């Protein structure tokens, strides 16, 4: 990680270079999302069809066949599972763009459509992520009030491993939130407020408590909650109908198929997040410059990196420089900055040649910072 100096980041020249790229193009958002959804949902339907067509795996004991998804025994379905996983990774990460569009009151129809086509089916309403703008606030970024920040880069290594265990815990939490907490949240206004404050944000920092403003669109949030709740209850309901022998029911293995479909994009999301920042801040308020130097641009291997970092997320430091820059212009903006900024521009220090170079830097600091702290304690003693 580059050394962080106290002087301000010279952003004026950079802003002039990208000034004409700040307006989002609606047709790109719609086209990208609809094409990705068509491919993704087609693959998911094929996986479900293969599971139904194959029935229970041949030769498998009856008491275990209901738990093991049959699609795992078809290479075509496995291929579709992988394609669907990356597709879900791309289209659900569009929630990041939706949060920024909401902050600028832009593309309202797209935000509504995204919730109906992605948010509700994936049980991930966009308002779960609307707190995201706090992550770009200089007084909040990297502090304990930042729901998207954990100082895992300061070590020890087990904190990184604990961070990654959220991949397993998050689907369980979301199902519990929608199946159980959503219905009871409407029993009393105080209970509803507590659930909105405590259990309605997809965060890394679980000590985060969301502030609900007086003008918050609670009716819209309630509508999304109800739709997602019905979607969540559809899963166990169909399993029960299947157990009772109804033709519209599904086997219990379908639940595990759905969880597996969630596991791949979640794993990609957490890996992507792990390499978006250095995570070395200590919880104190920092400058805009420090926020940028804690963030990363990854430019190597365009094909491989684009799959891991969809919708422009590979240019994460640039995104923190200009949060309103639409994802489809980030690459152009980066290329302009690299071509037009002087050779000694600090922006160049934010750029890494590969995912592996970022991981190498992360684990170097994970090991070194605890040793430095221990050495300082020894010297003080």
CB 231 within 8 A of CB 118: no
Q: Which residue has the higher pLDDT, 363 or 55?
A: 363
User: Does residue 352 register a pLDDT over 50?
Assistant: yes
The pLDDT of 193-200, averaged and rounded, is 96
**How many CA atoms within 13 Å lie on the side-chain side of 219?**
1
Q: How far is CA 58 from CA 256, 257, 342, in A?
A: 18, 18, 65
- Residue pLDDT, tens place only, 282-341: 999 999 999 999 999 999 888 889 899 999 999 999 999 999 999 999 999 999 999 999
> Predicted confidence band at 276 (pLDDT cuts at 50, 70, 90)?
very high
- pLDDT on residue 104: 84
Question: Residue 292 corresponds to which tokens in the numbers above?
Answer: 């940028």
> Predicted confidence band at 254 (pLDDT cuts at 50, 70, 90)?
confident
Q: What is the DSSP letter of 155?
A: S
The pLDDT of 261-290, averaged and rounded, is 94
Residue with structure tokens 């593309």?
107
The pLDDT of 146-163, averaged and rounded, is 93
Residues 6+ apart with CB under 8 A from 213: none
Distance CA 38, CA 90 (A): 13
Mean pLDDT of the chain: 89
Provide the 10 A C-beta neighbour count for residue 46. Answer: 19
Residue 154 phi, psi dihedral angles, 5° rounding: -90, 0
DSSP result, 254-311: HHHHHHHHHHHHHHHHHHHHHTTB-----BS---HHHHHHTB-EE-S-HHHHHHHSTT
- pLDDT on residue 56: 47
- pLDDT on residue 63: 46
Mean pLDDT is lowest, of 110-114, 118-122, 372-376, 377-381, for 377-381
**The model's pTM:** 0.90
- pLDDT on residue 341: 94
């Amino acid at each position: 990680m580059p050394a962080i100096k106290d002087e301000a980041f010279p952003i004026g020249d950079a802003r002039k270079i990208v000034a004409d790229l700040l307006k989002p193009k609606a047709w790109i958002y719609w086209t990208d999302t609809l094409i990705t959804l068509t491919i993704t949902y087609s693959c998911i339907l094929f996986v479900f069809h293969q599971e139904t067509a194959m029935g229970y795996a041949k030769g498998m004991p009856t008491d275990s066949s209901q738990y093991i998804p049959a699609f795992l025994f078809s290479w075509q379905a496995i291929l579709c599972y992988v394609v669907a996983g990356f597709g879900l990774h791309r289209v659900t990460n569009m929630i990041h763009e939706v949060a920024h569009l909401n902050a600028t009151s832009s593309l309202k129809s797209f935000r509504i459509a995204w919730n109906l086509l992605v948010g509700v089916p994936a049980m991930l309403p966009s308002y779960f992520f609307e707190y995201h703008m706090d992550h770009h606030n200089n007084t909040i970024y990297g502090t304990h009030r930042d729901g998207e920040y954990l100082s895992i880069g300061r070590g020890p290594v087990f904190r990184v491993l604990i961070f990654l265990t959220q991949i397993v815990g998050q689907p369980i939490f979301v199902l519990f939130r929608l199946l159980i907490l959503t219905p009871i949240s409407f029993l009393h206004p105080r209970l509803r407020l507590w659930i909105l404050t405590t259990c309605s944000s997809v965060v890394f920092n679980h000590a985060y408590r969301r502030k609900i403003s007086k003008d918050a669109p609670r009716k819209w949030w309630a509508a999304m909650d109800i739709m997602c709740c019905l979607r969540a209850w559809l899963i166990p309901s169909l399993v029960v109908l299947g157990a009772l022998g109804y033709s519209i029911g599904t086997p219990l293995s379908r639940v595990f198929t759905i969880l597996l479909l969630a596991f791949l994009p979640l794993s990609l999301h957490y890996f992507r997040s792990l390499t978006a920042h250095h995570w070395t801040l200590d919880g104190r308020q920092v400058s805009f410059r420090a926020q940028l130097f804690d963030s990363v641009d990854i430019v190597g291997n365009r094909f491989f990196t684009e799959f891991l970092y969809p919708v422009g997320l590979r240019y994460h430091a640039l995104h923190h420089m200009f949060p309103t820059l639409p994802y489809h212009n980030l690459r152009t903006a980066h290329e302009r900055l690299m071509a037009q900024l002087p050779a000694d521009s600090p922006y160049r220090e934010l750029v890494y040649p590969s995912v592996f170079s970022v991981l190498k830097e992360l684990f170097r600091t994970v090991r070194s910072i605890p040793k430095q702290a221990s050495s300082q304690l020894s010297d003080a003693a």
